[in-house]
A and B are shown apart, each in its own frame.
Chain A
Amino acid sequence: MSTRQYVTIDGNEAVAHVAYRLSEVIAIYPITPSSAMGEWSDEWSAKNVPNLWGTVPMVVEMQSEGGAAGAVHGALQTGALTTTFTASQGLLLMIPNMFKIAGELTPAVIHVSARTLATHALSIFGDHSDVMACRSTGFAMLASRSVQEAHDLALIAHAATLEARVPFLHFFDGFRTSHEVQKIEQLSEEDLRAMIDEELVAAHRARALNPERPVLRGTAQNPDVYFQARETINPFYMRAPEVVQKTMDKFARLTGRAYHLFEYAGAPDAERVIIVMGSGAETAEETALYLNRQGEKVGVITVHLYRPFSADHLLKALPATVRSIAVLDRTKEPGAMGEPLYTDVVAAINEGLANGKAPFQQMPRMIGGRYGLSSKEFTPAMVKAVFDEMKKAEPRNHFVVGIVDDVTHNSLDFDPSFSISDPTTVQCVFFGLGSDGTVGANKNSIKIIGEETENYAQGYFVYDSKKSGSVTISHLRFGPKPQRAPYLIDQADFVACHQFSFLERLDITRYAKPGAVFLLNSIYGPDEVWDHLPREVQKDIIKKKLRFYVIDAYEVAQKTGMGGRINTIMQTCFFAISGVLPREQAIEEIKKSIRKTYGKRGEAVVQKNFEAVDSTLAHLFEVKVPAQVTSTFSRRPAVAPDAPEFVRAVLAPMMVFEGDNLPVSAMPVDGTFPTATAQYEKRNIALEIPEWDPNICIQCGKCVMVCPHAVIRMKVYDPALLEGAPATFKSTEAKFRELPGTRYTIQVAPEDCTGCALCVEACPAKDKTQVGRKALNMIPQPPVREQERENWNFFLTLPDIEPGKISVSTVKNAQLLRPLFEFSGACAGCGETPYLKLLSQLFGDRTVIANATGCSSIYGGNLPTTPWAKNAEGRGPAWANSLFEDNAEFGLGFRLTLDKLGEYARELLLALAPQLGSQLVDGLLNADQSTEPGIREQRERVAALKEALKSVKDPRAISLAAVADYLVRKSVWIVGGDGWAYDIGYGGLDHVLASGRNVNVLVLDTEVYSNTGGQASKSTPRAAVAKFAAKGKGLPKKDLGMIAMAYGYVYVARVAMGASDQQTLRAFLEADAYEGPSLIIAYSHCIAHGIDMRKGLDQQKLAVNSGIWPLYRYNPMLIEEGKNPLIIDSKDPSVDLQEYAYNETRYRMLVQADEARAEQLLKEAREDVRKRWNLYKQMAAIQYNGHDKEE
């Protein structure tokens, strides 16, 4: 007898649960939003969880999705039950192998959390553009529309593939389904066993490559037989739909949940039918059923099996009464007749009418449209708009729904107030900060409601684009009926604002429906809070008659040792007010869930949370709402009124979660955006900011150098410019030999600072009478915000140092250069961004940057704003992200263009020399651009050239004018993380380095895939724990620098700014100056190391002093001078590796989890350090000047 339980989990876990149990080999690679399936598999494997056959699946991380697909192919060929998980571009990388796997009729399942493909922009969110790109591979395609379906159809896919011998791509909507938490009935081991036919497993094994009975596969075929051989598979594809339906029927007998290839729901006599797949189908179906109850003859067909496309099954599913069909695609195929599902349906119905299989005689009117790209909301209102459109005499074809297309006018209007929500469903919206634990608490709440009450429950979580100070919005639904509403809540019964400051800038009460509860975390009590609310909030509360509660969660958290984490406190309030459970039971359940979630982390954590729960209710108050709006202030605008038009009109709405309202015309047509926009997004996330004490400061510039956010800056200027300075603006006599008689100021951007305090840590100047005080000290931000804003604005009016005016070979001088990378949304205290800032200071005005996908492309290019900036002349880094895997090649392309067009410009110059005059031409051709003044002079010559060209009649003058800028020296910087450089992009990186071209590669080495949540890369050091290396990595870090050095002509440097800022600076200058390929590997401390980010620089020092991160420069120029090119810049290891490693959670957690293994790995890691250090020492000691003598 099968025993099933209800669990409250997300789509990824629901799918991984099945896939893991039905596989023997799992090849994985992280990519959002599918990573969690690989992570679950790796974790279960590390915990020795067996599969259905009692053996623990082998889970292997590959270097890319292409690699994963290759490994899957190989494992299948040798007889293992094999699976993998992926999405988006990752799926595209699998396509070559997918053709092979399908061509060889191999049973396999790839589970895809369908995600948008990168086109004009990357998007991590969901649509079907990735899976649609796989239509021709020969994979069967099975679509799930909800968490329960994803769980069920995962099993159906694994079962059906064995019988059909057609491999399956099982997909469900990225984020909307992969990350939605739902109460589902979990399949039992017995269910899985009942569905898998052991004979078919044996048959799969029997087809495997085996030297005991050898065969050959993967032949090369010729025109004589390839075609015929390709047609042999037809019977399998013809049979596959029946196999799937048979499997679905068997599943239905087992579980009671019946699925069909094409699922019809709605009026039996429907005249208007929508055909759709994925989570949108659930919305469409619920809406159709609602409209049926209003008497409308509508229906919906959900497509489950999209490939092989069974026209027969589709025709059978359609009601004979249908007069109009709308096919909705969650993808876009520019230039096509229509999107793929639409064209398939049109073809099927045409064929059906022709062959008489259609249930109707007359061709229904057919329209197609797009919806939901990149997880764009798809709501009942939009479904209704489609049904309404179908009623029209001339319905719009090839429409879009969900956006306003004011360019090609393709969009359907919809009434946003249309709602089908069931009155028995309770809807709740919570606004929190990423760091306050709101989402975690809500996930627990959903589990409690789902598993401890009879209610069905659903949770979905929205995050903003920043990694520090980010806003989260949790959407929770629960009630006695299943929650089939895969869209956000806009009219909630309960709205909670967990951070008071949000009210200043976000419209939160708009989510509340009349009579709803509004819970606010407020330092102001019930009697005083009213006066601190903006007018708009007061107005809404009164108008909607909201029941208004306040809690001072900060105080409770402070008193109970919770710090900034107010999660359990707000959760307790939610349960207390919502009454979903009796209070006492709710508190008991919260405590149970606290123990379950945190128990492993120790009793102290559990007790701290318990105390917070117990202290909460005494601080929760209902506010007596006044009848009148009394507030004297309004919500502040997203950006200052003097911001540029594009920022105000386009970027500002995105900053306040109103980007959905922007029409098509607001968006650039080709994905091109202005830079220097982060300066307008004043986020005010720091509770404390540094304050400068000029009397202690030694003007070393170290604080400016290490600031990850470019919010602390220094300038040296003419004292006369201080006229008109704000009263509190500080300055002191500048101590720069080259700049006598000047003043010096260090100024902080108060509203952009994240409060990470790295500057304070880096500051070497201590007060002699009170050593705890430095030249920089953290002070609370709010009291000085206004004053420092004024000071900052004045500071910006002071001129920047002119490049070339002062040598930048020292940190102190280099930090006078203006950063052209500022105010990024990276984690507070990020270890990567200081390197980018340095790059931007030194070369920003003449650099083109190719940025691999990863953290740096996210904080560098995730809308709404970008930290890449411009100098006073309007110059600055030009930046682009292509993909994850191709970044080195992408950057090489930049170089090739710069070189080629530079060459072409020089050719044209020579050709036009008679008209232009030899002085100008010679100057341009022979310019020394090795220094900044040299470059500046060349720019002036180019300006003169452009001017001169205006009067040249030769047609080549136009060509030269267009390429004249290429005569100015440009640098190419290729930037990315270790996941790119060591793994997925390594092949390309190797080739680009080998090319000998003048490119500079900066590897921001965090030793894990930071952006996707800390999966191991080949850069991960031995003994560190990471996802996909849950037992601690057992092999040493790949020595990328050594590999590059092997070429002999690649400049290689290994740097750690926290250990030696001067060596870092020198390496950047040398790399840029070197005319060949350069590689800088930069130690980047990271939140994924589990360190106190404030101590990131200290960790860098310890890394170097322990020898695990030796500093060196390998400069091929030295070989020409007869010198050894390798210079080791750090001293012999002086501290034990443990002193460095055990400051970091990634190493420590292994000690806690498995001390013996931790000890063993640490011992081996010490040996790694020793061996490598010895090798470097020997390499650095080799005599290079003896070479000639030998000859």
Chain B
Amino acid sequence: MPDLTTTYLGLQLKNPVVASASPISKKLEGIQRLEEAGASAVVMYSLFEEQITHESLALDHFLNRGTETFAESLTYFPDLERYNIGPEDYLELIHKAKQKVSIPVIGSLNGVSTGGWVEYARKIEEAGADALELNVYYLVTDPAITGAELEQNYIELVRNVRAQVRIPLAVKLSPFFTSLPNLAAQLASAGANGLVLFNRFMQPDLDIETLEVTPNLQLSTSAELRLPLRWIAILYGRVACDFALTSGVHTGQDVLKAMMAGANVAMLASELLQNGIGRISEILGEMTAWMEQYEYESIQQMHGSMSQKNVAEPAAYERANYMKALQSFDNKKLY
């Protein structure tokens, strides 16, 4: 039986299969089922500061609307005892999860203001989270903002949070940076213990009948694995932090690829949403079988084995890859 253990953010994990942020972790029962299925850690669904603010303002707006206007209907809703606007439920869930499961529970946070990031990070730490994933997402539309400014904001953010919390920090990034290695290195030196690559975003679609932009969330496929795989392979050994590969992990082979590229853990959500939480144990089975077949003793053994610095042809991760792909196309299909 090969050894599947790994470490991530200083946490000892029984295997590299981690459940990433998804609606499954919205319930205690979901977290327990993840553990039962074999997940070595769970990243909680993200706490969105913006959403909390929005919900608060929206509730206030709709409860106020039309009130104190007409003598017969001075209000329209009963005044309920509480509305759970705020992070309390989220924190409570972390607290309860820590009591119910033995695997590490990693908080996930998407803030807006510096104050919000720091305040919520501390609260997540206080609630008992073993680590915190900063789900940083800022889509720049303003031409006046430079890439350097944006990156500096990210670094500052990590530094600010790091100064306030003791638990390990991971930063979940999008792939849209011109010099990812440089940013990664700066984030690590600002205090990030790990990088989670990459965040997937909802990409809106256009409805040409109604002429409307429609939100569209598609679950990932294994094909998406290649982007994070490449970047982890490049960053491994160059940037002093852990890596979690997320996006496109669906099979045991996907996890193994992630390990070989240099990831400490592989995170998955789409596969579980599509085919059930039970897939974790199947994936672990697939990994074990493969490792046994190819006589791997441990995950450690393959960790980073196919990273850019460890492969025979490092250039394969660079531009040549693109050239080769072009050449492999069937010309006939173009016509």
Residues in chain A within 8 A of chain B (CB atoms): 32-33, 35-36, 39, 42-43, 46-47, 124, 175, 179, 434-435, 437-440, 461, 463, 465-468, 470, 472, 561, 563, 565, 598, 600-605, 608, 766, 771, 827, 858, 1010-1014, 1025-1028, 1030, 1087-1088, 1090-1091, 1145-1146, 1148-1149, 1152-1153, 1155
Contacts and interface: CB of A to CB of B under 8 A. Distances in A.
Nearest to A47: B81
Contacts of B57: 561, 602, 604-605, 608
Nearest to A767: B211
B82 A600 contact: yes
B56 A1013 contact: no
B152 interface: no
B28 to A, nearest CB: 11
27 contacts: A32-B71, A36-B74, A43-B78, A46-B80, A434-B67, A437-B64, A439-B68, A440-B67, A463-B69, A466-B70, A561-B57, A598-B60, A602-B55, A602-B57, A602-B59, A604-B56, A858-B70, A1025-B80, A1027-B78, A1087-B65, A1088-B76, A1090-B77, A1149-B63, A1149-B80, A1152-B83, A1153-B84, A1155-B89
A598 B55 CA distance: 13
B189 interface: no
Where chain A touches its partner, the secondary structure class is mixed
B60 A1013 contact: no
B76 A1090 contact: yes
Chain B interface helix/strand/loop/mixed? loop
B86 interface: yes
B60 A602 contact: yes
A598 B78 CA distance: 14
A1010 B77 CA distance: 10
A434 B79 contact: no
B75 interface: yes
B56 A603 contact: yes
A466 B55 CA distance: 30
Nearest to B73: A1013
B84 A1152 contact: yes
A1148 B77 CA distance: 12
**Minimum-distance CB pairs A-B, first 8:** A602-B56, A434-B69, A602-B85, A1013-B73, A439-B68, A1090-B62, A604-B56, A1014-B76
Contacts of A36: 74
Contacts of A467: 66, 69-70, 73
A47 B80 CA distance: 8
Contact of A1030 (B53, B62, B80): B80
Interface in B37-72: 52-53, 55-57, 59-72
B78 A124 contact: no
A461 B77 contact: no
A622 B61 CA distance: 32
A1011 B72 CA distance: 6
Contact of A1025 (B72, B77, B82): B77
B72 to A, nearest CB: 4
A1014 B211 CA distance: 37
A1010 B81 CA distance: 22
Contacts of A1087: 65-66, 76
Given A602-B60, A1149-B80, A1013 B55 contact: no
A302 B72 CA distance: 29
Contact of A434 (B53, B68, B84): B68
Interface centre among B74, B75, B78, B84 (most CB of A within 10 A): B78
Nearest to B69: A434
B73 A1014 contact: yes
B68 A437 contact: yes
B272 to A, nearest CB: 20
B115 to A, nearest CB: 10
B72 A1030 contact: no
Contact of A124 (B72, B75, B89): B72
Contact of B71 (A124, A600, A771): A124
A602 B83 contact: yes
Given A602-B59, A604-B56, A1145-B63, A472 B79 contact: no
A1013 B69 contact: no
Nearest to B57: A604
- Interface centre among A472, A605, A1026, A1155, by most chain B C-beta atoms within 10 angstroms, is A605
B77 A1014 contact: yes
B76 A472 contact: no
Given A43-B78, A1149-B83, A604 B66 contact: no
Contacts of A47: 81
Interface residues of B, number: 36
A1011 B73 contact: yes
A472 B78 contact: no
Contacts of B71: 32-33, 124, 175, 179, 463
Contact of B69 (A46, A435, A603): A435
Contacts of B80: 46, 600, 1025, 1030, 1149, 1152-1153
A797 B143 CA distance: 52
B223 to A, nearest CB: 29
Nearest to A1159: B27
A124 B74 CA distance: 13
Contacts of A608: 57
Contacts of A605: 56-57, 59-60
A603 B82 CA distance: 13
Contacts of A603: 56, 86
Nearest to A1093: B65
Given A1145-B63, A1152-B84, A1152-B85, A1012 B73 contact: yes
Contact of A1153 (B61, B69, B72, B83): B83
A434 B84 CA distance: 28
Interface string B220-234: 000000000000000
B88 to A, nearest CB: 10
B73 to A, nearest CB: 4
A292 to B, nearest CB: 36
Contacts of B77: 1014, 1025-1027, 1088, 1090, 1145-1146, 1149
Given A32-B72, A472-B68, A1025 B59 contact: no
B84 A766 contact: no
A605 B57 CA distance: 6
Contacts of B78: 39, 42-43, 46, 1025-1028, 1030
Contacts of A1148: 59
Contacts of A561: 57
A78 B181 CA distance: 80
A808 B63 CA distance: 41
A435 B55 CA distance: 20
A601 B68 contact: no
A461 B67 CA distance: 13
A565 B64 contact: yes
Interface in B203-262: 211-212
A468 B69 CA distance: 8
Contacts of B212: 771
Nearest to B80: A1153
Contact of A601 (B66, B73, B76, B85): B85
Given A33-B71, A1013-B72, A1149-B63, 5 more contacts: A32-B72, A434-B70, A601-B85, A1011-B72, A1026-B77
Given A461-B68, A1153-B81, A1153-B84, A1090 B74 contact: no
A282 B109 CA distance: 60
B68 A1145 contact: no
Given A43-B78, A602-B85, A602-B86, A470 B56 contact: no
Interface in B83-126: 83-86, 89
A472 B66 CA distance: 12
Contacts of B81: 46-47, 1153
B69 A470 contact: yes
B73 A43 contact: no
A440 B64 CA distance: 9
A831 to B, nearest CB: 13
A827 B67 CA distance: 11
B24 to A, nearest CB: 15
